[in-house]
């Protein structure tokens, strides 16, 4: 069905409503592959948005260069539903349970990132019980970051990965775990680099750190996962960056430290969630009320932290920006706190946000909401219904679905 406007979409599917443009997701995938060294595998991080329709669009037409990175049984189901070959799935995460790993191995997953001796033994036990061998990447918590970012994933005490300085002494034990073979390294040091120079510096540090681990442990990686850090605007206007200088910079450092990478030894991989799907999504919602309280204007929406990035309530992801749908002539502007409908003062989407002169009943759009939106939210809180999610291709509605909160249905 081809609908003409966001208002048409809301009239048919309700508000709040997530709208995902699959063509934009595919364009982001192609841009990212073009900015990375030739032959790089890009793992789509399902944590950003596990919608199977988006994942299927990323998988198709990518010449097997786009694979799935998951960290839960639910994401495994989503990846399989999207048509990913289990052999193309990388299972990660510091808290894998025995049941989760067994289900993944039974489904055919054979590549795992492991973060501790216990994690490796758990994977090995599951593989042995099903007559399989798991290929395991050692996740490395390297020392000395190469850049700064809002979310650092390495260089400090962490639940993620082996501290790099401990690996030489651990290698005899790691190599002896039944049901596993050590096939590479996984390094992931930051999220959402502030600019291309910072991203290049961080990935240069990552490649250098991987070479040091190889030299100190004798582990020659078949697969080297460099992690991510690729940026995209979040819930505010803006365009995702194009990394024009990244490919050449990474090829140069790889040539220096892993000269046989061009022959496929090791194969190079990277991960992305935010960059691949951030700008493919927007959230349509409706103003339910506008009020003043002691000199501050509050715009109350029908979408709160139960619908949009529950971490916003912790102050981590503010501010959110909105645009008035169909406001071609403009209504002037105001400053307001954007809040949701929930019975908690933590239901804040943005403080002191510049907004149009909004009125009850107005339909507004929150842009760049394709990543860490609905599935990073407190969807069960207060039992409000989850929003509909629709996918578009060339402005035609391809699918419409709603996440069901099972406890509320029983």
Domains annotated for the chain, with CATH where assigned, are: 22-277 (3.20.20.10), 279-409 (2.40.37.10)
Smallest CA-to-CA distance from 206 within 120, 269, 157, 264 is with 269
Return the SS3 of 133. coil
Cβ 297 vs Cβ 338: under 8 Å: no
CA distances to 99, 279, 306 from 302, in Å: 38, 22, 10
DSSP letter at 296? E
- The per-residue pLDDT for 318 is 52
What is the separation, in whole angstroms, between the first and last Cα of the chain?
33
Return the SS3 of 284. strand
* Whole-structure pTM value: 0.91
Q: How many helices (H) and strands (E) does the chain have?
A: 11, 20
User: What would the pLDDT profile of 304-360 be if each residue is shown by its tens digit?
Assistant: 988 887 654 444 445 567 777 666 556 668 899 999 999 888 888 888 888 888 999
Q: Which two tokens stand for residue 244?
A: 């024009």
User: What would the pLDDT profile of 355-391 be if each residue is shown by its tens digit?
Assistant: 888 999 999 999 999 999 888 887 777 778 889 999 9
Is 76 buried (19+), middle (13-18) or exposed (0-12) by CB count in 10 A?
Answer: buried
Return the SS3 of 382. helix
Helices (H), 60-154: 73-81, 98-107, 117-129
Cβ 135 vs Cβ 120: under 8 Å: no
Cβ 43 vs Cβ 69: under 8 Å: yes
Q: How does residue 1 score in pLDDT terms, banded at 50, 70 and 90?
A: low
User: What would the pLDDT profile of 41-67 be if each residue is shown by its tens digit?
Assistant: 999 999 999 999 999 999 997 676 899
Cβ 149 vs Cβ 159: under 8 Å: no
CA triplet 245, 248, 254: central angle to 5 degrees? 135
CA distances to 21, 53, 276, 279, 362 from 368, in Å: 11, 18, 11, 4, 20
Q: Which residue has the tokens 């140069």?
A: 252
State percent of the chain over pLDDT 90.
Answer: 70
């Amino acid at each position: 069905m081809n609908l003409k406007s966001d208002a048409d979409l809301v009239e048919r599917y309700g508000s709040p409503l997530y709208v995902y443009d699959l063509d934009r997701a595919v364009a982001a995938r192609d841009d990212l592959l073009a900015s990375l060294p030739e032959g790089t595998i890009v793992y789509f991080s399902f944590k950003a948005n596990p919608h199977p329709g988006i994942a299927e669009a990323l998988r198709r037409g990518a010449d097997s260069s786009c694979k799935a990175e998951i960290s839960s049984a639910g994401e495994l189901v989503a990846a399989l539903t999207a048509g990913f070959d289990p052999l193309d799935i990388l299972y990660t995460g510091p808290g894998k349970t025995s049941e989760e790993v067994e289900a993944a191995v039974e489904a055919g997953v054979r590549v795992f990132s492991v973060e501790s001796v216990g994690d490796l033994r758990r994977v090995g036990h599951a593989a042995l019980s099903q007559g399989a061998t798991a290929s395991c990447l050692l996740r490395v918590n390297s020392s000395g970051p190469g850049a700064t970012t809002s979310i650092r994933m390495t260089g400090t005490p962490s639940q993620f990965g082996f501290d790099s300085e401990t690996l030489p002494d651990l290698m005899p034990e790691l190599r002896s775990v039944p049901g596993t073979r050590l096939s590479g390294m996984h390094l992931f040091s930051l999220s959402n680099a502030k600019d291309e120079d910072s991203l290049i510096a961080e990935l240069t540090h990552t490649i250098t750190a991987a070479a040091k681990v190889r030299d100190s442990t004798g582990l020659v990686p078949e697969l080297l996962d460099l992690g991510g850090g690729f940026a995209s605007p979040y819930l505010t206007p803006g365009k995702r960056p194009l990394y024009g200088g990244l490919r050449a910079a990474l090829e140069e450092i790889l040539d220096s430290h892993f000269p046989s990478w061009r022959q496929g030894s090791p194969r190079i991989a990277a991960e992305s969630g935010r960059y691949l799907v951030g700008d493919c999504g927007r959230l349509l919602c409706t103003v339910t009320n506008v009020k003043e309280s002691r000199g501050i204007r509050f715009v109350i929406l029908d979408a709160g932290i139960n619908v949009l990035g529950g971490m916003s309530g912790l102050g981590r992801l503010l501010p959110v920006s909105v645009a008035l749908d169909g406001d071609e002539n403009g209504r002037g502007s105001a400053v307001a706190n954007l809040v949701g409908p929930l019975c908690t003062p933590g239901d804040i989407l943005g403080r002191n946000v510049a907004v149009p002169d909004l009125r009850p009943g107005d339909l507004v759009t929150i842009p760049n909401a394709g990543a860490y939106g609905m599935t990073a939210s407190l969807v069960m809180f207060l039992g409000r219904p989850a929003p509909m999610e629709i996918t578009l291709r060339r402005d035609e509605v391809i699918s419409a679905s709603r996440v069901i909160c099972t406890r509320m249905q029983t």
